[in-house]
Amino acid sequence: MPLSVKPAQNCERMVFFMIAEIIGHFGENVINALGLNIATGTEIILSEHTIKHIKDKHPEITGDCKRIIADIIAVPHGVSFRAKDSTIGFFKGCETGELFFLELSVRSSNIGEYFVRTLHFIETDRVEKRMKNGKIISLDKYLYP
């Protein structure tokens, strides 16, 4: 049974007050893994407000945020769906001597548009725990069932 994605409250009002661009699209692998009821290629939007949030609240994220976000959406290593607030999580493993993960959160607006909400690092042990209890679905070698 496909999952219903509940829209975030008041998101449709924010659209009119922000500069935003399409940063990626939902791939068939993500839609199928999570059982989402959306079309392949559904757009994911990134706002300047979200970029500012990431830079202000997660200063450990350095470099070109847009490129990082586009890469995570295009080739995620794992995905999740949190029914409580209809957040879709995209996970990407990175290696720089040791393995660490980035988590990208996406939510739907009241008008059915999908927006990037945040990007941050997540500890490897938290990812492993969420994998073991089935909350993250592996799409790649970095995440093992």
**What pLDDT, on a 0 to 100 scale, did the predictor assign at position 145?**
47
- State yes or no: pLDDT of 18 exceeds 80: no
Share of the chain above pLDDT 90, in %: 63
- Residue 13 host element (H or E): helix 11-15
For residue 141, what pLDDT band results from cuts at 50, 70 and 90? low
For residue 34, what pLDDT band results from cuts at 50, 70 and 90? very high
d(CA 104, CA 84): 17
d(CA 114, CA 59): 24
- DSSP bridge partners of 122: 101
- State yes or no: pLDDT of 111 exceeds 80: yes
Q: What is the DSSP string of 23-90?
A: EEE--HHHHHHHTB-S-TT-EEEEEHHHHHHHHHH-TT--S-HHHHHHHHHHS-SEEEEETTTTEEEE
Question: Considering the domain boundaries, does residue 116 fall inside one?
Answer: yes
Give the range among 26-35, 44-53, 131-140 with minimum mean pLDDT. Answer: 131-140
**HSE-CB of 5 using CA atoms within 13 angstroms:** 24
d(CA 145, CA 139): 10
d(CA 118, CA 90): 11
Question: Considering the domain boundaries, does residue 2 fall inside one?
Answer: no
Residues spanned by the domain of 64: 11-138
**What pLDDT, on a 0 to 100 scale, did the predictor assign at position 142?**
56
How does the average pLDDT of the chain come out, rounded?
85
Q: Are 84 and 66 in contact (CB under 8 A)?
A: no
Question: Considering the domain boundaries, does residue 1 fall inside one?
Answer: no
**Tens digit of pLDDT for each residue in 61-102?**
888 999 999 999 999 999 999 988 899 999 998 877 777 899
Question: Considering the domain boundaries, does residue 144 fall inside one?
Answer: no
Question: Considering the domain boundaries, does residue 46 fall inside one?
Answer: yes
**What pLDDT, on a 0 to 100 scale, did the predictor assign at position 97?**
73
- State yes or no: pLDDT of 2 exceeds 50: no
Q: Are 102 and 121 in contact (CB under 8 A)?
A: yes
Question: Considering the domain boundaries, does residue 26 fall inside one?
Answer: yes
